[in-house]
Structure 1
């Protein structure tokens, strides 16, 4: 399997492609990473150095990949943190060209814009660009609950309202939705959930909630779910494997009291997920 991954990169720690690439490689995916920013560290530190890549430079890298004849071999395009407003058009154009070369290729968009605790942390124009231009051309989207609410103009909190919001998102274009960081009022205390919805049904998985800030964990989640789903077309299986792998990564990071994900140390969780969490069909 080959995936073109268009995301941010950091030198210190793990976020964007610096979080997503290695887990995909560890499960056997050939990843072609393209960077939208090249920062010293993720922005959660409040200070960082390095450039936001000019959209023309990002497009040039993608064109160079195309000139090597790689587009016809790609199984998917994955995008995450976009950096600047002009990246949206670059991604949309790249997806169209990849699909022209391989009509079976899928596009997975992680619509990175923020979360319930921090609000939006991207450039002001990007959430609207994601909603109006990028998400409609995606096959798969992986929003957290906050991002799903923005995309659909809703406030999902229960299973029913999250399913309804996911259906609104699917009506925009993507057929598969992974909703992360699902926090419903009636869930078991000390837990957090993820839901996956596609044409075949909807499933939910519950894991323990770890009281930690885990920058980059959403990038790992999107990467692993996309990889498993593209490989099998089975949303429940992809959800089970992703939940197990990401929880293992977070549990190991939390136990070590590390500020950064122990991405390399936790690699066995990607290669051999324990599959310890029940995936329950809810529709």
Structure 2
């Protein structure tokens, strides 16, 4: 079995987003991880005050070279990318995917959402990310807003989504896991995920927790990738991720917190196995 998952995304000094939450989730599966940061911030961008900056391309490039020099990618099946707001670092991720073609590339766009009013950073960088990374993705895990951005088209039904994907040359052969689907027939108390693969649309529903917290998308992608590493089917991986996130958010809400925590994650680790 592969010994690690490579994750290239944001890192924070405090909190559970990006590599902080992905790394924790991967380790809870008994899988080692290789973390490369694209930014290093004091906390996630939902806080009113944050400090930090993007990792320099020279440093990220050296880190990729360094893990290659000690043969770490040989022990991995999957490479995850997440938040990245610097075109040069997007190029480095693309080059890493090309350098290690045995790695299945999981592309989590992480550039926008409805609840924050749209994009996290400049629109040109989001388009650059799509154009540079999406062609190499084996699996992508956009939320509803991000998939509309990629498609350059809004959709409210499965039929509208199917038509939009059929018209997009980049997406027709991709496995897409649409998280936080917000369709006209999605009940308000339901969390919906849609798996799109080979023109087949499979809908997964679970109870929705009325709690807006940062990092759940990063957590979902990490759990799904970990479950795939453990040889679970994609359908089972999605169900396990949704169930774990539901119970974790329920706990966070029950203790009157607003953020994910180590206690919330550890309390439900049995659901991953």
- Normalising by structure 2, we get a TM-score of 0.91
Matches within 5 A, 1:22-61: 22-61=24-63
Report what 1:234 is aligned to. 233
What are the residue-to-residue correspondences of 1:73-84 with 2, within 5 Å? 73-84=75-86
Distance in 2 between residues matched to 1:191 and 1:254, nearest whole Å? 17
What value does the CA root-mean-square deviation take over the aligned residues? 2.1
| Structure 1: runs of 5+ lacking an equivalent | 275-283
SS of 1:37's equivalent in the other structure is strand
- Seen in structure 2, the aligned counterparts of structure 1 residues 66 and 174 have a Cα distance that, compared at 3 Å, is farther
Aligned length: 270
Deviation digits for residues 140-167 of structure 1 (CA, Å, limit 9, x no counterpart): 1000011001111121222232344455
Distance 1:215 1:261, change over 3 A: same
Assess if the C-alpha contact under 8 Å between 1:84 and 1:123 holds in 2. no
Unpaired runs of 5+ in structure 2? Answer: none
Any conservation in 1 of the 2:165–2:171 contact (CA below 8 Å)? no
1:29–1:199 Cα change, 3 Å: farther
- CA separation of 1:68 and 1:172: change in aligned 2, threshold 3 A: same
Tell whether the 8 Å contact from 1:248 to 1:266 is kept in structure 2 after alignment.
no
Query: d(CA) in 2 for partners of 1:273 and 1:22?
Result: 13
Matches of residues 177-256 of structure 1 in structure 2 within 5 Å? 177-199=176-198, 201-232=200-231, 234-256=233-255
Q: Deviation at 1:200?
A: 8.3
1:141 aligns with 2:143: no
Distance 1:166 1:23 in 2: 31
TM-superposed CA distance for 1:173, in Å, is 7.1
**Rounded Cα–Cα distance in structure 2 between residues aligned with 1:169 and 1:72:** 33
